[in-house]
Amino acid sequence: MRSDIIKKGLERVPHRALLHATGLSRKDLGRPFIGVATSFTDLIPGHIGMRDLERFIERGICYGGGVPFFFGVPGICDGIAMGHLGMCYPLGLREIVADTIETVCNAHGLDGIVCLTNCDKITPGMLMGIARLNIPAIIVTAGPMLSGRFRKRKLAFVHDTFEALAAAKRGQISQEDLACLEMEACPGAGSCQGLYTANTMACLTEALGLSLPGCGTALAISAKKRRISQASGERIVELVKKNLKPRDIINKDSLENAIVVDMALGGSTNTVLHLMAIAHEAGISLSLDTFDYISRRTPHITNIEPAGEHFMEDLEFAGGIPAVLKRLKAKLKNARTLSGRKIHEIADEASIVDEEVIRPLNQAYHKQGGIAVLYGNLAPNGAVVKQAAVSPRMMRFNGRARVFNREEEAMSAILAGKIRKGDCIVIRYEGPAGGPGMREMLAPTSAIVGMGLADSVALITDGRFSGGTKGPCIGHISPEASAGGPVAILKDGDIISIDIRDRKLEARLSGAEIEKRFKAWKPVPPKIKTGYLARYTKLVSSADKGAILG
């Protein structure tokens, strides 16, 4: 076993002494050592229920004949970090999580690992870590939150908090009702109820074959999630015995399967960054064009918050990801999964319970998938939009640029009523290096909706968007402003042309005018000059490369 490096031989007497100090018996030294990387924290609703799931993972490992060792992984709640300096950290946290997985497992010679995760950057960070480490591994995502309730209406976090606050600003919601929404929108444990980044990544982890069937949508509070946790603990010991590793699962076919599922679901645009980063760690080349190619050929068959009316609980009760795989079977490669079954076998065994939640391909909500990749003189290396959440009338849009160098400036202008119909908000210097950390723009995008401007105002940025974003909001503009991308030389009043159908994002500026402006442009110094974010700024790549560290 891999762990023999810390427990066998005369020279390992000191090591065994330390292991015995933890309570291990001599018999335990002959069993596989299984790490359990848990991101439990009291700070994140999606993670507060993990103590319970840890018990079942531990039980499964012991039943399987392994020895569990728990260690902590840091977590950030993107919703709490949103709209202030805190949002500079989550994307960088992804790299810390991956580094933690590598560091602990290699330092202690662990034979395998179970990753207990849930929220936005922690799940991709763990996936990156296991792809880099490449020892037997399994992911357990802790599950979605139930919808809230208010006067017989289902509530979702983004719609009933971020969008509601802007509606309250307009006098459309009373302070009493707003206070009730604040209390009821998030009723307990789990990742937020829509197809935001956390839930999208949970679904794609299952589609990749790196968690057990049903894990992606099993609710946080369910006995089903407990059973999956225990089965995952048992399965990791089997994976160690079979020496089945993440890179045996992560390949071009499984990554493309995940993208197909992503496009069919209409998931978060953040998945583009994360799947590219996971592919990089696995030594596989994955480009922006692959996402757009697959999107053009994959119908959007679910209508889940924030773009639609359904919730993650509806997808779970409709059959979950196995049912989605069944619907998409003809478009999926028959890749292997760590469950021991191939994708087509899982699809064949699934049942589609609700034809409206998971529509037939010929009755799709949209003919194309959820994400589109745009190019043009504003985004020579690409930009990304969640087209499934854009109304038909805004698929083509020409607007006057309203330029802001920070998210907070734009948010103030929106809430002050200074943004008018026909404006195109530009938020720049918020990219991977310029932000730093490529902050999510959920607050301004939700404020646009709440102020009643969703069908008359666009927003473009070199930052990124929450999975909760809807409307003509284009992010990941590459190159970013701080790297001298064309978005850096835009001025108020410039006409911005957006054509999502034809995949174009352009400023109506001549080449000569662009060249003239760049001669007068000077790079902006880094915003943060000390600590982790200063180091991150120096090392991070552009969004079109997955915002990975060099």
Do 344 and 381 belong to one domain?
A: no
pLDDT of residue 257: 98
Q: Map tokens 């976090």 to a residue.
A: 157
End residue of a domain, out of 314, 349, 384:
349
In a domain, 359, yes or no: no
| Residue 78: band (very low, low, confident or very high) from pLDDT cuts 50, 70, 90 | very high
pLDDT of residue 83: 85
Residue range 124-148: average pLDDT?
Answer: 97
pLDDT of residue 124: 98
Do 129 and 240 belong to one domain?
A: yes
Report the C-alpha gap between 383 and 478 in whole angstroms.
Answer: 6
| Residue 477: band (very low, low, confident or very high) from pLDDT cuts 50, 70, 90 | very high
| Residue 550: band (very low, low, confident or very high) from pLDDT cuts 50, 70, 90 | confident
pLDDT of residue 152: 84
In a domain, 206, yes or no: yes
In a domain, 36, yes or no: yes
More confident: 154 or 347: 347
Reading the block at residue 232, the tokens are 């995952």
In a domain, 48, yes or no: yes
Res. 85: pLDDT tops 80: yes
pLDDT of residue 306: 86
Sheet strands side by side (includes 33-38): 67-72, 33-38, 112-117, 137-141
25 CB-contact burial (10 Å; exposed 0-12 / middle 13-18 / buried 19+)? exposed
- Domain range for 389 is 374-545
> Amino acid identity of 166?
A
In a domain, 175, yes or no: no
Structure confidence by residue, pLDDT tens digits, 202-230: 999 999 999 999 999 999 999 999 999 99
Res. 432: pLDDT tops 90: yes
| Residue 114: band (very low, low, confident or very high) from pLDDT cuts 50, 70, 90 | very high
Do 399 and 334 belong to one domain?
A: no
Do 394 and 502 belong to one domain?
A: yes
Residue range 94-115: average pLDDT?
Answer: 98
- pTM (two decimals): 0.95
The DSSP letter of residue 342 is B
Query: Of 147, 229, 456, 466, which is the active-site residue?
Result: 466
Q: Evaluate whether 498 touches 475 at the Cβ level (below 8 Å).
A: no
Report the C-alpha gap between 542 and 529 in whole angstroms.
Answer: 19
Do 260 and 388 belong to one domain?
A: no
| Residue 148: band (very low, low, confident or very high) from pLDDT cuts 50, 70, 90 | very high
Report the C-alpha gap between 448 and 302 in whole angstroms.
Answer: 24
In a domain, 444, yes or no: yes
pLDDT of residue 188: 95
pLDDT of residue 404: 97
Res. 171: pLDDT tops 90: no
The DSSP letter of residue 351 is -
Report the C-alpha gap between 114 and 34 in whole angstroms.
Answer: 7
pLDDT of residue 263: 98
Report the C-alpha gap between 488 and 379 in whole angstroms.
Answer: 11
Do 53 and 109 belong to one domain?
A: yes
Sign, CA torsion 446/168/120/237: negative
Q: Quote the number of domains for the chain.
A: 2
| Residue 172: band (very low, low, confident or very high) from pLDDT cuts 50, 70, 90 | confident
| Residue 25: band (very low, low, confident or very high) from pLDDT cuts 50, 70, 90 | very high
Res. 276: pLDDT tops 80: yes
Residue range 424-444: average pLDDT?
Answer: 94
Instruction: Give φ, ψ of 313 to 5 degrees.
Output: -60, -35
Reading the block at residue 194, the tokens are 């829509």
In a domain, 4, yes or no: no
For this structure, is 541 an active site residue?
Answer: no
Do 345 and 270 belong to one domain?
A: yes
**CATH of residue 71:** 3.40.50.2300
| Residue 138, H or E segment | strand 137-141
| Residue 164: band (very low, low, confident or very high) from pLDDT cuts 50, 70, 90 | confident
Do 345 and 407 belong to one domain?
A: no
Helical H segments across 374-528, by residue range:
407-415, 442-450, 511-520
DSSP letters spanning 83-119: TSGGGGSHHHHHHHHHHHHHHHHHHTT-SEEEEEE-S
| Residue 140: band (very low, low, confident or very high) from pLDDT cuts 50, 70, 90 | very high
Report the C-alpha gap between 197 and 467 in whole angstroms.
Answer: 5
Do 198 and 340 belong to one domain?
A: yes
Structure confidence by residue, pLDDT tens digits, 235-267: 999 999 999 999 999 999 999 999 999 999 999
Do 193 and 337 belong to one domain?
A: yes
Report the C-alpha gap between 58 and 233 in whole angstroms.
Answer: 6
Do 196 and 305 belong to one domain?
A: yes
Do 75 and 197 belong to one domain?
A: yes
> Of 115, 70, 73, nearest to 94 (Cα)?
73
pLDDT of residue 166: 80
In a domain, 259, yes or no: yes
**CATH of residue 409:** 3.50.30.80
